[in-house]
Chains A and B, each alone.
Chain A
Amino acid sequence: MTKLSRRSFTTLLGGVTASSLALPYVAFGAKPKVVVIGGGAGGATAARYLAKDSKGEIDVTLVEPNKRYYTCFFSNLYLGGFRDYASTGHGYDRLVTEHGINVVHDWANSVDGNAKTVALSSGATLSYDKLVLSPGIDMKYDSVPGYSVEAQSRAPHGWKSGTQVQLIKAQVEAMREGGTFVMVPPPNPYRCPPGPYERISMIAHILKEKNPSATIVVLDPKPKFSKQGLFSEGWETHYPGMVEWLGPDTHGGILNVDTDNMTVETDFDTFEADAMSIIPAQKAGAIAMNSGVTDGDWAPIVPVSMQSKADENIYVLGDASVASAMPKSGFSANSQAKVAANHIRGALTGSRVFEPRFVNTCWSLIAPNDGVKVGARYKAGEEKIESTETFISKTGESAELRKETYEESESWYSAITTDLFS
């Protein structure tokens, strides 16, 4: 039949099979249905690109409990006082008015992969031809001894943005003079690898201005962390003597968190805190765990399409997926969503399916106008998404370059939120 080139997706023959299955929709005028669960970086992008690019040929429903979405990315900039909280919130209106997406504010409770239906909390059932799961993360509260859902108001994780981050800000600002902030970052893999350390930077920035004799202790379960050289240099430069980071070789392990007495007990010592943030280990959001697509805590995917390895009619995006070399980030989820949307559209309407392209960049702010970044390109390997070229900011860069990097991140925020919600 046709000559294939790298421009057309290499498994286009598979696409033809899928397209022939899709023929009934075309022939009888019934619109194929896609249900997207989760209105964050992965889900909103997938829904928007499916609706926008299919120009009405696909019936797209987006299920998201929140009427307003507060981005996890840049929540640290709110914490540090570089943005107001409202500026991190986004509505779904334009997805409805501009792209005809059916936005349903409800919880998805369960998926029946055989019947191809989703049961919602309201009692309604949605049927689909293709399902996109982009539910983000849930916390494994018991991964930190003594931590629990109940303890999260005293020691907020703040790892899903929203009120938890507001709480951290309030608690940092209320610390007694010369007090101690204790953070326990999560073990790998988790959402936003540099995030805990950007948060430390932002808290240090607040304390430097309001409570300069205060200190921050980081009790990390990991021996090393993302952008470590850059953060260590930045803490030394901007917040000398304020931030003490202890890896497992030093503290010997977290034995207990006591939020009544505000202590963290380690093998090495017991640390008293005036405020603390405990970020536990994480797993795929509940709906992924309930859909039979997870293996352990996360959902394995087929790299070329982001289809679940367990069910070809389900695509899993973003933090919930096993995207291997790609970090769990909003940027990654946005990139993966475009690959999935192109593939789904090809399967349902016969549109051209192109080779997948994956990219990510994570910016972090260390201090005012001191931005750093790490990023990479990826390719779909047979089994895994693999990184190709990578880059990272260097230690000792000029203040001018760091300012440019920060400004670049501001522009990116504006662009990606436009790409999600406009």
Chain B
Amino acid sequence: MKNWAFLLALMGIFSAENVYADDVEYGEYLSSECVTCHQAGATSSEQIPSIEGWDKASFVAVMKSIRAKEQESKVMQTIAASLDDEQIDALAAYFATLKSNE
């Protein structure tokens, strides 16, 4: 039983509650949705900003403001509406690990 538990842990099956703070791996999964429009490794375009390398606090603040429909973008409002605080934190943590392109 011990070995079984060890193997599972080794394989990452225990995505336990205590790894939630700054869950960069989860953020990376969630980010795969972002990069369909926010081009990876590119500078901001006219209408779509680069979001790599943003500091965590700014990222969280912007996403929450979009979720509160304080910003215009319909696409982003739809995306943000589906993200809870934990998910926004995870995304912020992941994007903060990347190098800014600006």
Contact = CB atoms under 8 A, between A and B. Distances in A.
A26 interface: yes
A412 B48 contact: yes
Given A15-B13, A350-B11, A352-B15, A375 B78 contact: yes
A389 B36 contact: no
B78 A418 contact: no
A19 B11 contact: yes
A237 interface: no
Interface residues of A, number: 47
A411 B13 contact: no
A102 interface: no
Interface string A1-14: 11101011000100
Contact of A5 (B7, B17, B29): B17
Given A357-B82, A411-B45, A414-B45, A8 B11 contact: no
Contact of B78 (A1, A15, A376): A376
Interface residues of B, number: 40
Interface stretch (A218-226, A289-297, A331-339): A331-339
B3 to A, nearest CB: 11
B85 interface: no
A240 to B, nearest CB: 29
B35 to A, nearest CB: 5
A284 B71 CA distance: 40
Given A16-B13, A350-B13, A408 B47 contact: yes
A341 to B, nearest CB: 8
A1 B8 contact: yes
Contact of B30 (A3, A19, A357, A414): A357
B36 A419 contact: yes
B68 interface: no
A49 interface: yes
Contact of B48 (A53, A335, A359, A415): A415
Given A350-B13, A418-B42, 12 more contacts: A1-B14, A7-B20, A7-B86, A334-B36, A338-B32, A338-B33, A350-B8, A357-B33, A361-B75, A389-B78, A411-B48, A416-B37
